[in-house]
Structure 1
Amino acid sequence: MTTTKPHTEVPTPRGPERRPAPLTMRQRMGRWDVKFSPYLYIAPFWIVFAIVGLFPIFYTAVISFQEWDLVRNTGTMVGFDNFAFVLQDREFWLSLRNTFSIFLLSSVPQLVAATFIAAMLDKNIRAKTFWRMGVLLPYVVAPVAVALIFSNMFGDRYGLINSFLNDIGLSSIMWHVDVIPSHVAIATMVNFRWTGYNALILLAAMQAIPRDLYEAAAIDGAGTMRRFFSVTLPQIRPTMIFVIITSTIGGLQIFDEPRMFDTNGQGGSNHQWETIALYLYNKGWVDFDFGRAAAVAWILFLIIIAIGLLNLFITRRFIAGDAGASTKKSKKVTK
């Protein structure tokens, strides 16, 4: 009986392993370019932002905890006393009320008017470039010039609007005395300046909508209003969210219009239209209390962040709800 030995493979001798050739200087520069060039392209923005953005924010935070002396450029640490004084100041709460009132009177009509103007400019009209430039023209005008013109229009005695009201037999409106009329006047200035700018942003979003959607809706029998609410508005929702958030941030920082609404520039004799930004200015450059002015700046900063996060939460939930509804509809159609 013969036994066969198992076949064993004899390992073949391997040659010396080849090491990759060293990279040339040009190849190394190419790799470095791929890795680091994107950071170099965005570096100028971050450098400028750190100098004119982040540094003032943190420096203001340091000043807000001190009783600051501008002449000696030094301060005495007082802790949270500046914040406590501001939160207990009646004038601060009046300015907060005025800010939100003017913000609501300006942002809501502004968004509606901007959407309407953008929808009109999206139609096949003649001289589109002329109308677009005309809509953007108020935004180009200096805010101080707009405030001066409208403050004279809303004059209590010799204003254009009160003169017209007197001619038709109505009594004059005290724009610079009463609270609500002053807010309406300032909100009108804001709407005049920013409506066209937001309209062009919404117009750009409307022009990016595929025209096939409108054609399909028209074939299904949808009218003009139905196409607007069912096709246009859902398609421009991300741009609408952007406009709402930017309008919110700008509305809470309004300064030029209430500052130039009268010759005094203090927000009215009884602080009728004094906003938070104007209250901050008065604390810093009228009362020369820079510690409390810095505290007001940080309180305003926190309010803007809180409202911005609230807007983000609401819009995310809104978009998620629409996405879920659309998926349910698609499942029903497939079934």
Structure 2
Amino acid sequence: MQAHAPRPRERLSTAARWNNFQRKYAPYIFISPFFILFLIFGLFPIVFMFYLSFQYWQPSAGLGTMEYVGLENYTDNLTDPAFWSSLKHTLSMALMSGIPQHLIAIPLAFAINTGLSRIKGPLTAVYFLPYITSVVAISVTFFTLFSWQYGAVNAALSSLHTLPLIGGLFPAEKINWLGERAFIQPAIAMVVVWRFTGWNVVLYLAGLQAIPKDLYEAAAVDGATKLRQFWHITLPLLRPTIFLAVTLTLIGNLQLFEEPFILTNGSGGPGQMGTTAVMYMLRTYQQYNEAGLAAAMAWLLFVVILVLTLINNRIFGRSGLAGRD
């Protein structure tokens, strides 16, 4: 029996091969810039920072001078009173600035969404403006407002002190906001609140718009006031948005840097009360020339943020209040 010769393969034309290449590889080429940039500016710094946290390295001496020291950088940080002090100040300012943001933003978003719906767009833009304004410009402006001798804040408080009946509630003497231990953290917190409250208003407005209006209409028919609607409808259904907003606030506030750095001129303020963990990390790297110690500090701060985020998830997330009926 005569065997049939194999059929020769047809040679594709250049145009056909190009079309085949485009179908197979073009999508990967188009998305490759993102992954390349992520590898260079995202993943590599994270991996290098983790590696660096186990090394003793002074950057001014060159890369070849790295020396493996194991967990020494972590133990040095954990036994450093200045690190714990900066972390305590960070947590203090995070609470001072974080809680008021949401106590203001939630009712404000509810009022805009219900009673001020006609001017919702312009009003939202006004509240969002501080978030997109340069943080340097904001901090310099508040630095002037908090000036001891000529600041507008002290001028306003002095004027309020002269009012009858309620004047005693306000201080008679000027407050050195940026020069006294008791006031530096509240001053920084006020700047952060002013800057990020509008951002949270926008987040809560997005969450409120996802709540069916039929619920409010039915509640109004049953005679529920705006306050009862807010308490029994808005808050329970807004819990997923609250979880997101509080998580973002938590992560951002534990990385405070620009506001305290500018308001204290990088010094940390009186008694180092304005020194945050990130400021101390930068000081360790730049002034003390200890890159490994600063890298270990960054990872310890990451662990703190992770633990607090998990606690927040327990309170507001699916397994917490948001998951209850």
**Structure 2 CA distance, aligned partners of 1:316 and 1:305?**
17
Q: Is 1:266–1:278's contact at 8 Å kept on the other side of the alignment?
A: no
Alignment of 1:275 with 2:276, yes or no, is yes
**Structure 1 CA distance, aligned partners of 2:112 and 2:27?**
38
Q: 2:39 corresponds to which letter in structure 1?
A: A
Unaligned 5+ runs, structure 1: 1-24, 326-335
Aligned residue number for residue 114 of structure 1 = 105
**Structure 2 CA distance, aligned partners of 1:224 and 1:205?**
18
Aligned residue number for residue 138 of structure 1 = 130
Aligned residue number for residue 80 of structure 2 = 89
**Structure 2 CA distance, aligned partners of 1:302 and 1:287?**
23
Q: Secondary structure at the match of 1:274?
A: coil
From 33, 55, 62, the equivalent of 2:51 is: 62
**Structure 2 CA distance, aligned partners of 1:212 and 1:251?**
37
Which structure 2 residues correspond to residues 66-215 of structure 1 after superposition, within 5 A? Answer: 66-71=55-60, 72-74=62-64, 75-125=66-116, 126-167=118-159, 168=161, 170-215=172-217
Any idea what the Cα deviations from partners look like across 1:80-130, whole Å, max 9, x if unmatched?
A: 222222112221111111101100011100011111221121025343322
From 41, 50, 55, the equivalent of 1:52 is: 41
Q: Secondary structure at the match of 1:316?
A: coil
Q: Name which one, 1 or 2, has greater alpha-carbon Rg.
A: 1
Aligned residue number for residue 248 of structure 2 = 246
Aligned residue number for residue 17 of structure 1 = none
Greater alpha carbon shift after TM alignment, 152-161 vs 128-137: 152-161
Q: 2:50 corresponds to which letter in structure 1?
A: A
Q: 1:93 corresponds to which letter in structure 2?
A: W
Q: Is 2:313–2:320's contact at 8 Å kept on the other side of the alignment?
A: no
Deviation at 1:46, TM superposition (A): 4.4
**Structure 2 CA distance, aligned partners of 1:175 and 1:99?**
18
Q: Is 1:91–1:271's contact at 8 Å kept on the other side of the alignment?
A: no
Q: Is 2:136–2:262's contact at 8 Å kept on the other side of the alignment?
A: yes
Q: TM-score, normalised by structure 2?
A: 0.82
Q: 1:173 corresponds to which letter in structure 2?
A: I
Q: 2:53 corresponds to which letter in structure 1?
A: S
- Aligned length in residues: 295
Q: 2:71 corresponds to which letter in structure 1?
A: F
Report the CA distance shift for 1:98/1:215 in structure 2 as closer, same or farther (over 3 A).
same
Q: Secondary structure at the match of 2:211?
A: coil
Unaligned 5+ runs, structure 2: 1-15, 162-170
Q: Secondary structure at the match of 2:67?
A: strand
Deviation at 1:257, TM superposition (A): 0.3
Deviation at 1:276, TM superposition (A): 0.2
Q: 2:94 corresponds to which letter in structure 1?
A: F
Any idea what the Cα deviations from partners look like across 1:254-282, whole Å, max 9, x if unmatched?
A: 1000010033x121242111000111111
Q: Secondary structure at the match of 2:318?
A: helix
Any idea what the Cα deviations from partners look like across 1:44-82, whole Å, max 9, x if unmatched?
A: 544433332221111011111112131312311222222
